[in-house]
Structure 1
Amino acid sequence: MKFSHSLKYNAVPDWQEHYLNYSQLKKLIYSLQAQDLQVVDEGGRVDTERLNALEGSSKALKKLKGKFQLGRSGKNGKGRKAGEGDADAEGDVQVETFELSDIKKKSAQNKLQALVDFDRRSSLSSDRTLFNPQDTFLSKLIDERSKIDDFYKKLEAQLYGRFATVVSDLQKSGALVDTHSRPHGGDGDGGDHESFELRTQPEHQLRRRESLASKRTTNDSLAPGRASQPEDDEEEDEEEEFDEHTHENTALLNYSDFNVKSQKKAIIKKNLIDLYVDLVQLKSFIELNRIGFFKITKKFDKTLECNVRNELIESGEFFKDTYVFQPLTLEVLDSKITKVIEFYAFITNADLALCKEELRSYLRDFIVWERNTVWKDMLGLESQNNTIASAGRPNAKGDIGALESNTHLEYRTWNLPKPIKCRYFTWSCIKVPQLFFTLKALKLYIIIACTIILLAVPTFNDEAQHRCMALVACVAFLWASEALPLFVTALLVPLLVVLFRVMKSDGKVMNAADASSTILAKMWSSTIMVLLAGFTLAAALSKYNIARVLASYLLTFAGTKPRNVLLMIMGVCFFLSMWISNVAAPVLTYSLIQPVLKSLGYESPFAKAIVLGVALSANVGGMASPIASPQNIIAMDYLKDYNVGWGQFFAIALPSSFLAMLTIWLLLLCTFKINGTQLKKYTPIKEKFTLKQYYIMVVTLATILLWCVLSKLENVFGSSGQIAVIPIVLFFGTGLLGTQDINNFPWAIVILAMGGIALGGAVSSSGLLTTIAGALQRRVMDFPLYAVMAIFGIVMLVVGTFVSHTVSAIIIIPLMQEVGDKLPGAKSAPILVFACTLLSSCGMGLASSGFPNVTAISMTDEVGNRYLTVNNFITRGVPASFLAFICVITLGFGIMNSVLKGV
C-alpha cells in the first residue's frame, strides 16, 4: 500500500491537518526536479531568473556551479564590459561558492542548522545567494516538524491531564496509593513521573468495607428525632424482594447498582477505556509521522540524488530539537498506557492480559466506527487515484505552474528603469502572478479573444442567433481544450446563456429573470434522474460484490488458452460496462485480472493485449445499453420523440457493439503475439449470495424491465425519470446504500450532462439550431440517408477521439436531430441521432479518448512500470475505431432501418 493511502487509513480524522503533509511534499519534490532541469538554457548559460528557485541535487549543483563560475568569471556576457562590474560579479560568485562549500564541510550535527541559517541569509540577499533544492525541501520539512511538535505538546498536555484526573479518582476511591513522585529530565514539559501502587485486597472485601462504611455514615447523619428505622427496614425488605426476582439477562438494576461506589466505578471504567483509546492514538500519531519523514526523505533522495535521509533522519539529527520524537517522550507515553491497562484490570478484577486484549478490542471497534467514512472514501476514490496519479508529476515541458499547490503565489518580476512614486506608494518593479503565463491561461486568452471576435463580427442576421453562435463556440472550445475542468464549464453555461441573452419566447428575447428560470429548470430533467439511477444500480452491484462474483465465474469458463482468456476478459468488461457504466467497469475488471497480470511482465505482449483489450471493450460496451454511458442517456431524451424505447435501443446497439468487440479482439490477436503465453486456470470467487444480494438483483432486473416496456406504461409512470426513482428509494431507503455512497457518485459527470442539456435548450430556443440545420439540409438533401449518416459519423468519430465522448455527443446530437427532421423520410432523424450516439463511443484512438483509455494508460505493475504506451493506443486504437465505425454503419444501419419507425 502507498504511504499516502496508509496515512489516510491510519490518521485520526480530527487530527488530519496536523499530520505530515505528505502529498504536498511530494508535489514539491516533483516541482523541484522540474526546476532543476530548467535552470541551464540551451546555450549552456544559467537562467539567472531561476537561481533563487533552484532546488536540485548536490550532483546537479556541482555541475551548475562549475558552469556558473565559467560563465561569470571566464567569459564576459553579451553587452557587459570588462572592468569593475565584472570584478564585483566575480566577488559575488566567490562569496556564494564559499557559503555553499562551508555548509558541506559542516558536520552532520551542525549541518541542519547551517542550512537553515543559509536559507535565512538567502532570503535577505536574494540577488547574490544561490541555494540548492535541499535548502527549500529542508525548510518545508522544518515547518512540518514544528507543526507536528506544537500540536503534540498541546494534545499530550490534555491527555495527561485526563490521566491525572483518573488517578485522582482512583486515589479518592482508595484503590490507588501514590508511593512517590520524581521529576524526569528531557526536553519535555518538565512534568513529574508518578509512581503508583494498587491495593491488592480482594474486591469483595473492599465492597464489604465500603458497604459498612456507607451504612455507618448514613446512620450517623440521620436527625435524632427522625423515625428512620421503619424506612430502613422497608428498604431492606424491598431489596430482598427485588433480588429474588432479578435474573441474569435483564436491564433491571438492584440496590447495589445504584450506590455511589458502583456508579463511580462505572464512570472510572468508561474514562479508562476512552483514555486508553486516545493515548494509543497519540502514540500512533508519533509513529505515523516518523514513518512519513523517512518515506518522504527517501523519495527526495531518490528523485534528486541527495543523502538527506541518512545524514539527518536516520542519524536522528533532524529530530534532536523536537519533543515529540524524543525516546523519553515515547517511554513516558508507553508507561501511561501500561498504567491505564493496570488500572482497568484492577477495576474489572480481571487478568492483565485479558484486559489488554479487551481494550484492544474497544480500540478496533472505535476505529472501525470512527473511520468508516474515511475508508469508504478511499475505496470509492481508489480508481480515480490511478487515473490521476500522473497529474502531480511535471510534464515534458516542465510546466511548474500547474504543479505547485503552495499557499503563496509565484510571480514574474520586471524592474522599472525608474521608480514611480505616488503619495503613499512607490513602485520599483512590476509583479505579475506566474499563473497568468501557464498553458491553461494561454488557452483561456485565445478562447476569450475568439468569443469577443464572434460577438463583434455579425455571423447571422438574427441578433440572438449571432450571440448564441459565440456562446456555442466559447463553450465548445472550453470543453475541447479543457482550459477549465469540464464540470466547471458546464456550470458556467446557464450564466453565459443569461448574459448573452439568447433565450427566446414567442420570437422575442427573454428578460434575464425569465431566461434564468427557464434555463435552470432545464438542467434537472428526466435524463439526470436516469443517470443517477444508473449510478445507484452500479453502486449496489459493486458494493455487495455481485458484479465481481458473476464476472469471476465468466472468467472461469475461458480455460487456459490465451486467445480465449483475452476474449472472455473483454467480454466480462463489455458486460459490466452495460450495467455499471464504462467508467467503473475497467477498474473492476482490472482488479479481477490482477492475478493474471502479476504472473506476466509489463513487457509481455499478452499483458499489453489484456490491458488494451479491457479499455477498448469498455468503450464499445459503452454503447450497448441506455445506461452504459452518459451520452446514451442524453440521446434517449432526444429519441423519445420518435417512440424509441429501451427495447429498440438494445435491438440496435447490442449486436453492433458485440460485433465491434469481436473485430477488436481479432485485431489484438493479429497485432500481439500471445500464443506462446502459459496461463493457469482462473479460480472463481466462491461466495454464497445472501438475501440482500438477491434483493438487489431483483430490483435491478425489475427496473431495467420497466424501462424496456415504458412505452406501454407511460400513463402510469409518465417518463423514465420516474422509474429511476424506484431503485434510488429501494436501495437508499432500506439502508443498503448510505450517504457516503451517494457522495461517491461521479457528480462531475452529472453536472456535465446538466450543462449539455442547458446548452442544447439555449441553442434550440434561440433558433440557431434550426438555421444551421436548414443550411446543412440544403447541402445534403440530394444525398441518400446512408451517405449523410456516414459523413456525420466520421465527424463524430474524429471529434470523439480528441474530445470527451459525452461532450461530442452534447454538441453534435441536437444538430443531427434538426438535420434529420428536415430530410425526407420519417426515419431520417432517429437514424442520424442513433448512429451518432453509437459512434461517439467509438472514438478511442488516443490515450486521452474517454475514461477507459485514461484508466488503461495509467495501469502499472508492482514496481511502477506502465503496461502501455501512447504508441500502443495509436497503432491499435485508431484501427479499432474504424472497425467499430464500420460495424455501426453496416450492421447497425441495417437494424436501424428495419426497427425504427420514426414519428
Structure 2
Amino acid sequence: MKFSNSLKFNAVAEWWDGYIAYAALKKTIYELEEGLGNRNDGAAYGERSSLLASGDQSAWTNEKFIPLLDRELAKIVTFYKAQEPELRAEIDDVAANIARREEEGLGPDPRYVDDDESDDDDVSNLGSGSSPHATRRRRRTLSGLSAQYSPLEPPHHALGDLEASYVTYRPEESPEGRNTRAGRSHSLSNALKSPRAALANLFNSQPPESVWMSKSTFAWETRMLFKRRITAVYITATSLKSYVDLNHSGFRKILKKYDKITENDLKDRYMQENVEVAYPFEQATRSRLNDMIAQIVGQYATCITQGDLSQAQKQLRLYQREQIVWERDTVWRQMIGEERRGERDGQVKNLVPSSALNSTTPPLATIPTPFGGIKVTGNRISILVALTSFLTLLNVKAVEGPEANRCFAIFVFATILWATEAIPLFVTSTSVPFFVAVLRVIRTPEGEPMSAPDATKFVFSTMFSPTIMLLLGGFTLSSALSKTNIDRIIITRVLSFAGTRPSTVLLSFMCVSCFASMWISNVAAPALCFALIRPILSSLPPKSTFAPCLIMAIALAANIGGQSSPISSPQNLIALDAMNPRLDWLHWFAVAIPVSVVSVLLIWLLLLAIYRPSNTADGQRLSIKPIRATRETFTLKQYWVMFVCVVTIGLWCVAHEIETYFGDMGIIAIIPIVAFFGSGVLKKADFDQFLWSIVFLAMGGISLGKAVVSSGLIDTMDVVIRDRISGLRLYEVVLALTAVVVVVSTFISHTIASVLLVPIAADIGASLPTPHPRLLIFITGLACSTGMGMPVSGFPNQTAATQEDDMGILYLTNIDFLKCGVPASMISALVVASIGYILMLLVKV
C-alpha cells in the first residue's frame, strides 16, 4: 500500500490536521522536478551536463523544500506537546480514582448519588483536566467499543446492559432510570450499615473483600465503569504512539522520494539533524509514552484481570483493533468516498477516465409493457440476434450431418457474442462446453455421437490442457517480475540511455514496450510504460505532437510484442495448441523476433513521418527530460526470480529435445509456480489476481476448436475451402489468409480471432497439395497481433485510448488510430507474410 493511503487509513480522523502534509509535499517535489527541467532547458544544450553536475541544483531545491519540512516538523511538535499533558492528566486521574475506590471498598460511591452534572461527567468517562477536543475523542472512542464480556462478569450481564444503565438512561433524559440506580446504591448502603452487617464485620476475622474481586452486582458495575474508562485512555495513548510512528515514517518516505526525484542526498542529514532530535521523536519521549501505556495496562490488570498483565494486554489490544476497524468503517468512509468522487477540496482526481464514465450509452428505445418499460440497447439486440440465429440453425439444415449442424449453430452463436461483446467474453466461452455436451456435438472415433456423460468428460479434459498450464506459468513469471520490481529496474536502466532526442526516446520506449510485452504480457507492459512516461508528458509544451506520438508508439509496439513469445498473448498459445507436433520456443523465437524487430523499426519511421515530433509548435527544437536509472540494487530475492525465469525459459526453448523427461511444455510451467509460491515470493493473493477471465476465454476457445474437429464440421468446411484454394500456390494462400486475419482481429479481440481462424488455417494447410498446416497456423497466430487499426483492437490500444492529460483531455482520438493504426497494421502484416514466411520455410515449420 502506498504511504499516502496508509496514512489515511491509520490516522486519527480528528487529528488529521496535525499529521505531516504528505500529499502536499509530494506535489511540491514534482513541481521542483518540473522547475529543474525548465532551468536546464534555459541553458545551452552543451552546458546542461555541467549545470546538472554542479551543486546549483541541490542548493536550489533545498532552498525551496527544507522550509516546508521545517514548518511541518514544527506543527507536529506543537501538536504532540499539547496532547501529551492531556494524556498524562487522564492517566493520573484514573490512578487517583482507583486509589479512592480501593479505600472506599464496597461502600457507596458518592458519584452514584451525586447531582446530575457529576453523574453525567463520570458516565462519560471524562477526567477533570480534559479539553473539549479530548472530550469529543473520548466520547467517539466509547461509542466505537463493542460489547465484550469480561471473565469476571456474571453470566446474566452484558456490556449492552451496562450501556443501557449508564448511557441511555441519562439523568436529564430518564428520571426513572436515575432513581432506580440511586435507589439500588442506597439499598446497598443501608444493607452495609444495618446492625446485622455491623455485627458480622465485627466478628469476621478475614479482611474486607476488594471491589476488584467481589462478585456482587455493585462491584461488577464499578469494574465495568473503570474498564470503559481505562480502555478509552489506552486507545488514546496508542493512537498518540501511532501518530509519532506515522509522522516519523512520513518524513523518511518523503525525503527518500525527494532525493530520488531531485538526485539529492538530504534524507540522512535532515533525519539526523532535525527529525530525530525533535521532541516527539526523541528516545526519551518515546520511552515516556511507552511507560504511560504500560501504566495503563497495569491499571487495567488491577481493576479487571485480577493482576494478570498478559491478559490485560491481550484484551486492550483486542479493543484497540475493534476501534481501528470502527473508525475506518465510519469516520473515513465518507472522507475517502468524497475524495474518490472529487468532492474534497474542490478538486477532481480523475481516478476514472472520462471515456469510462460515459461508457453507459442511453437506450435506443423503450418499449412500454404492463410491467414497466423495456429498454432496447445495442447489447440486448446482439443477444437477441445471437439467440435467434442459434435456434434457427438448430432447426435448419445448414451443413451436412446433425452433429456438424449443431456445432455450426454453436459456432455462429459464440462468434456473434464474441464480436459484439454483448456479454463478457469469458461468459460466452464458458457457455461453449455446456452446449457442446448437452447438444451431443462430440463424436466417437467410429463417427457415433457420444453420450452426454462421455462428452462432458471429453470436453473438460480438453479444456485444461497443457496450453492452459503454460498460460498459468506465464502469469506466474509476469507476477514475479512485477512484484519484485525487476521489470521497472531493468526498464528504467535501459531508458536512461535514451538521451533527450525525441526520435531516440520514441524508439527506446517502443523497444522497451515490445520487449516487456514478451514477458509480462501485452496487457501489463503498456500500463507500466504509460506510468513511466507521465513525467515526460507533464513537462512537454502545450500542443506538442510528441505526446500522442509516444502513447501511440507504446501501444503499437506492445501489440507487436504480443507475437514475440509464446506466452506474451493467448492467441500464441492457441496457435501452439493447434500445432502437431507442437513448435518449441527456439523455433518460435527464430521467426518471431526478427519479424518483431523489423515491424517496430518500420512503425517507428511511420510515426516520425506522421507526427514529426522533433519540433515544438513554434518551430523550436524539442528536448525530452531524460529518464533516470533507479539506484536500487538487486536483492537475493530478485536474483532468485531471475534464475528461475531464465531456467524456465531455457527449458521451454529446448522442449522438444527434453520431452522424454518432461513430456510437454505445460509440465515445465509448474517449475515457476512451485518455486515462487513455495518460496514466498508470491502469495495466495497474487494467485487470486491472475487473469482468470483470459484463462476461461482460452478454455472455451480450445473446447470449441475440438468440437469443430470432432463433430465433422471441419470436414464440411474443408470441401468449401478446397474449392476456394484449388490452383492457388502456397504464398498466395498465405497472403489471402493474412489479409482475412488482420481484418477480423482489427474489429474483434485478437484472442477471439485466433479461436475462430486457427482451426480454419489448420484445415487449409492440411488441404494443400503439399500440406503445411503448422506454417499457416503460425502465420495466423502472428497476424492476429497485427490487427491494431481501431481503439478496440487489443488491450494496448484500449489502454492507450484512455490516457488523459492533466485537464482530463484524451491524448488520442479515433483519427490517430486511423492514420497510424491502419498503416501500422498493413506494414506489420506484410512483414509477417514476407519475412516471417521466409523464416518459417528456413526453420522448416
Residue 354 of structure 2 contacts residue 808 of structure 2 at CA under 8 Å; is this kept in 1?
no
Does residue 646 of structure 2 align to residue 701 of structure 1?
yes
Helix, strand or coil for the counterpart of 1:615?
Answer: helix
Distance change >3 Å, CA 171–CA 580, structure 1 → 2: same
Correspondence list, 1:99-178, <5 A: 171=98
Does residue 491 of structure 2 align to residue 546 of structure 1?
no
Alignment partner of 2:477 out of 537, 552, 555? 537
Residue 179 of structure 1 contacts residue 195 of structure 1 at CA under 8 Å; is this kept in 2?
no
Runs of at least 5 residues in structure 1 that lack an aligned partner in the other structure: 13-162, 199-218, 222-255, 304-308, 310-381, 402-410, 415-429
Helix, strand or coil for the counterpart of 2:744?
Answer: helix
Distance change >3 Å, CA 596–CA 461, structure 1 → 2: same
Alignment partner of 2:335 out of 264, 286, 291? 291
Does residue 653 of structure 2 align to residue 653 of structure 1?
no
Per-residue deviation, 1:697: 0.4
Alignment partner of 2:655 out of 699, 710, 722? 710
Alignment partner of 1:855 out of 784, 787, 799? 799
Match of 1:834 in 2: 778
Helix, strand or coil for the counterpart of 1:268?
Answer: helix
Helix, strand or coil for the counterpart of 1:733?
Answer: helix
The 2-side partners of 1:176 and 1:708 are apart by 84
Residue 368 of structure 2 contacts residue 374 of structure 2 at CA under 8 Å; is this kept in 1?
no
Does residue 422 of structure 2 align to residue 477 of structure 1?
no
Distance change >3 Å, CA 295–CA 624, structure 1 → 2: closer
The more displaced of 747-756 and 643-652 is 643-652
Structure 2 counterpart of 1:195, one-letter code: L
Structure 2 counterpart of 1:393, one-letter code: N
Runs of at least 5 residues in structure 2 that lack an aligned partner in the other structure: 12-89, 130-204, 208-297, 616-621
Structure 1 counterpart of 2:806, one-letter code: E
Q: Deviations over 1:363-408 (max 9, x none)?
A: xxxxxxxxxxxxxxxxxxx99x86x87444355x53499xxxxxxx
Match of 1:266 in 2: 310
Per-residue deviation, 1:278: 3.9
Structure 2 counterpart of 1:757, one-letter code: I
Alignment partner of 1:559 out of 499, 510, 515? 499
Helix, strand or coil for the counterpart of 2:399?
Answer: coil
Per-residue deviation, 1:644: 2.2
Helix, strand or coil for the counterpart of 1:558?
Answer: coil
Alignment partner of 2:700 out of 745, 755, 762? 755
Distance change >3 Å, CA 448–CA 280, structure 1 → 2: closer
Helix, strand or coil for the counterpart of 2:669?
Answer: helix
The 2-side partners of 1:688 and 1:275 are apart by 42
Correspondence list, 1:502-541, <5 A: 502-505=441-444, 506-541=446-481
Distance change >3 Å, CA 293–CA 485, structure 1 → 2: closer
Residue 774 of structure 1 contacts residue 822 of structure 1 at CA under 8 Å; is this kept in 2?
no
Structure 1 counterpart of 2:312, one-letter code: I
Match of 2:829 in 1: 885
Distance change >3 Å, CA 290–CA 890, structure 1 → 2: closer
Match of 2:733 in 1: 788
Does residue 813 of structure 2 align to residue 869 of structure 1?
yes
Structure 1 counterpart of 2:775, one-letter code: I
Distance change >3 Å, CA 169–CA 517, structure 1 → 2: farther
Per-residue deviation, 1:832: 0.8
Per-residue deviation, 1:591: 1.6
Distance change >3 Å, CA 460–CA 412, structure 1 → 2: closer
Equivalenced residue count is 583
Per-residue deviation, 1:742: 0.6
The 1-side partners of 2:811 and 2:714 are apart by 44
Match of 1:10 in 2: 9
Does residue 513 of structure 2 align to residue 573 of structure 1?
yes
Distance change >3 Å, CA 511–CA 281, structure 1 → 2: closer
Match of 2:613 in 1: 674
Residue 601 of structure 1 contacts residue 607 of structure 1 at CA under 8 Å; is this kept in 2?
no
Residue 571 of structure 2 contacts residue 750 of structure 2 at CA under 8 Å; is this kept in 1?
yes
Residue 179 of structure 1 contacts residue 197 of structure 1 at CA under 8 Å; is this kept in 2?
no
The 1-side partners of 2:7 and 2:461 are apart by 39
Structure 1 counterpart of 2:699, one-letter code: M
Helix, strand or coil for the counterpart of 2:637?
Answer: helix
Match of 1:444 in 2: 383
Per-residue deviation, 1:671: 0.6
Residue 183 of structure 1 contacts residue 190 of structure 1 at CA under 8 Å; is this kept in 2?
no
The 1-side partners of 2:470 and 2:103 are apart by 66
The 2-side partners of 1:273 and 1:886 are apart by 67
Per-residue deviation, 1:878: 0.4
Alignment partner of 1:193 out of 124, 141, 146? 124
Residue 652 of structure 1 contacts residue 896 of structure 1 at CA under 8 Å; is this kept in 2?
yes
Distance change >3 Å, CA 265–CA 556, structure 1 → 2: same
TM-score by length of 1: 0.60
Q: Deviations over 1:150-174 (max 9, x none)?
A: xxxxxxxxxxxxx99x989994997
The more displaced of 765-774 and 791-800 is 765-774
Structure 2 counterpart of 1:647, one-letter code: L
Does residue 751 of structure 2 align to residue 800 of structure 1?
no
Match of 2:395 in 1: 456
Distance change >3 Å, CA 295–CA 638, structure 1 → 2: closer
Match of 2:550 in 1: 610
Residue 602 of structure 1 contacts residue 861 of structure 1 at CA under 8 Å; is this kept in 2?
no
Q: Percent identity?
A: 36
Per-residue deviation, 1:493: 0.5
Residue 400 of structure 2 contacts residue 716 of structure 2 at CA under 8 Å; is this kept in 1?
no
Correspondence list, 1:618-633, <5 A: 618-633=558-573
Q: Deviations over 1:680-715 (max 9, x none)?
A: 221011211011100100100100000111111111
Q: Deviations over 1:780-831 (max 9, x none)?
A: 13111000011011110000000000000011011111111121224x2121
Structure 2 counterpart of 1:861, one-letter code: D
Match of 1:663 in 2: 602
Match of 2:578 in 1: 638
Match of 1:393 in 2: 358
Match of 1:431 in 2: 371
Does residue 466 of structure 2 align to residue 466 of structure 1?
no
Distance change >3 Å, CA 861–CA 650, structure 1 → 2: same
Per-residue deviation, 1:460: 1.8
Correspondence list, 1:285-434, <5 A: 285-291=329-335, 390-395=355-360, 397-399=361-363, 413-414=368-369, 430-432=370-372, 434=374
The 2-side partners of 1:183 and 1:655 are apart by 91
Residue 7 of structure 1 contacts residue 288 of structure 1 at CA under 8 Å; is this kept in 2?
no
TM-score by length of 2: 0.64
The 1-side partners of 2:757 and 2:776 are apart by 10
Distance change >3 Å, CA 176–CA 480, structure 1 → 2: farther
The 1-side partners of 2:777 and 2:640 are apart by 36
Match of 2:138 in 1: none
Does residue 704 of structure 2 align to residue 765 of structure 1?
no
Distance change >3 Å, CA 608–CA 510, structure 1 → 2: same
Per-residue deviation, 1:898: 1.1
Match of 2:57 in 1: none
Structure 2 counterpart of 1:607, one-letter code: A
Structure 2 counterpart of 1:780, one-letter code: I
Distance change >3 Å, CA 702–CA 561, structure 1 → 2: same
Match of 2:192 in 1: none
Q: Deviations over 1:461-516 (max 9, x none)?
A: 21111111111111111111111100000110011112322110010111111111
Give the CA RMSD over aligned residues.
3.8
Residue 468 of structure 1 contacts residue 763 of structure 1 at CA under 8 Å; is this kept in 2?
yes
Distance change >3 Å, CA 716–CA 184, structure 1 → 2: farther
